[in-house]
Structure 1
Amino acid sequence: MARDRAITTLTLDSPGNRNALSAVLVGELADALTRCGKDGDVRAIVLTHTGNTFCAGADLRDPPHPDALVGLLRQIVELRKPVLARVTGHVRAGGLGLLGACDIAAASTEATFAFTEVRIGVAPAVISLPLLPRTDPRALARYYLTGERFDAAVAVRTGLLTATGDDVDEVLAPILDGLRRASPQGLAETKELLTAKVLETFDRDAAELTALSARLFSSAQAREGMTAFLERRDPAWVV
């Protein structure tokens, strides 16, 4: 955790698993966000990463409980301070849920993205809570269903990203300046306006999508898909 002129930066730093969402990482990030929410000197939070991967999705060896992931995503949306994603590497599966939950997301042009859930026998269930209200449904259908990789320019067009550029810090500089000029009250109330529809989706669908995630991850096809992924081979259904 680092702070510069009222902006606190939280860094995902688990290079051994490419910053995958383990039970430990989800808990640590939730705790850090709670501290930021209570700190009156924090105007906004930037979520970034070490290494060449922002987040590789769920840690298949130590996955968080779906309820914990729902709680983390909702916490980002509900936090009465803007949360920004700063991405300079790859984002996969559950990591895209973090981007969807953030208020603003910027990435370098070398970043890549993919919803890989279908390729291991599951679905992007829980992460749909922040994503479906904020992204283009036709584009999302393609990338949800195929697991294709796409670039930052496509991510901007679909609404997954706010902006992209060769130097992500140059992209973020005027945004952070604007946040520093905004009043804490103004930011909090404006964010509440912007996130109201997203939170309605959480209220309506969280229980159903959490149950779906748990059911799929315990299925035979998911076991085959996760085993194939860890063994670096194609799962049995590939033709």
Structure 2
Amino acid sequence: MADELVHYEVRRGIAAITLNSPHNRNALSAQLRAELTQHLATADADDEVRVIALGHTGPVFCSGMDLKEAGGASANQQGVNEFPAILEQIWTSPKPVVAKLAGPARAGGVGIVAACDIAVAVEGATFAFSEVRIGVVPAVISVTVLPRLLPRAAHELFLTGETFDATRAVAIGLLNSAVPAEDLDAEVRRFTDMLALGGPNALAATKQMLRQPRPANLGETFADMLELSAHHFGGQEGQEGITAFVQKRKPSWVPQD
């Protein structure tokens, strides 16, 4: 039986999904893609899971597709065809997803980082859209990356393939935070602890709202948002949150110490 390439563990409502294939820099091999897909689905289906933390072992977060895994364009294309489903799983997950990077990301790995709701990296992490330098186009990852990046930076970095550091990644919107290596765990925990305070249904609905493009007609938009607000304000979760606030206690969904 093959060793696992993605480890899954749940503690206090946090599902830790860890890429565990350091021998090939956590490249997106067929086995890793299959295990990552399964663990994301497991976390989404588990009501006890409040937040997903996506991390890695080894010095590299993810180097992108495993180009050495199989010979022939058709075999490599199969991996490319499967990858969008993983990005969509992360992007549309009802649970907040936090990326934790103790090292660099390239190509598809950057697409995964961008698909997460929050991304934290060590200051020494680096990034690059290196596709053009091997004669291919960063097309698939653009779906998750471009909504995050400043347009001018996207043109520069997609076209040049230049390597950039975590500080710049924060400045252009790819990362939320870049911290010294010794502070990485604490910074990720700061975000996961805050996310765990939100109502599960409210978080899922807020994520869905954030994904929607804003139409030109503001009147229609306000009407839709009023309906969404009223639905959750009057719902069981909203009423529990309001009652807990008045009673100066934690809502029922907050993990207990």
- Identify whether the pair has TM-score above 0.5, normalized to the shorter chain: yes
**Could you tell me which amino acid in structure 2 is paired with residue 105 of structure 1?**
A
Q: CA deviation at 1:146?
A: 1.2
* Contact kept in structure 1, 2:90 and 2:97, CA below 8 Å: yes
More RCO (CA 8 Å, sep 6+): 1
Which position in structure 1 is the counterpart of 2:94? 80
**Could you tell me which amino acid in structure 1 is paired with residue 24 of structure 2?**
N
Separation in 2, partners of 1:24, 1:137: 35
Which position in structure 1 is the counterpart of 2:252? none
Which position in structure 1 is the counterpart of 2:37? 30
Q: Is 2:22 the counterpart of 1:15?
A: yes
Q: Is 2:103 the counterpart of 1:89?
A: yes
- 1:139 is paired with a residue whose SS is helix
Give the superposed CA RMSD: 1.4
Q: CA deviation at 1:193?
A: 1.1
Q: CA deviation at 1:116?
A: 0.9
Which position in structure 2 is the counterpart of 1:70? 84
Q: What pairs up with 1:1-239 in 2 under 5 angstroms?
A: 1-62=8-69, 63=76, 64-166=78-180, 167-197=183-213
Separation in 2, partners of 1:76, 1:97: 10
Separation in 1, partners of 2:118, 2:110: 13
Q: CA deviation at 1:3?
A: 1.8
Q: CA deviation at 1:66?
A: 2.3
Structure 1 segments of 4+ aligned residues over 2 angstroms from their partners? 62-67
Unmatched tracts of structure 2, length 5 or more: 1-7, 70-75, 214-257
* Contact kept in structure 2, 1:164 and 1:171, CA below 8 Å: no
Separation in 1, partners of 2:125, 2:210: 26
| Matched length | 198
Separation in 1, partners of 2:23, 2:107: 18
- 1:53 is paired with a residue whose SS is coil
**CA deviation profile, 1:32-87 (whole Å, cap 9, x unmatched):** 10111110100010000001000011110234532211111011111111111000
With structure 2 as the length reference, what TM-score do the two structures score?
Answer: 0.74
Separation in 2, partners of 1:80, 1:196: 14
**CA deviation profile, 1:83-111 (whole Å, cap 9, x unmatched):** 11000101111100001110110001111
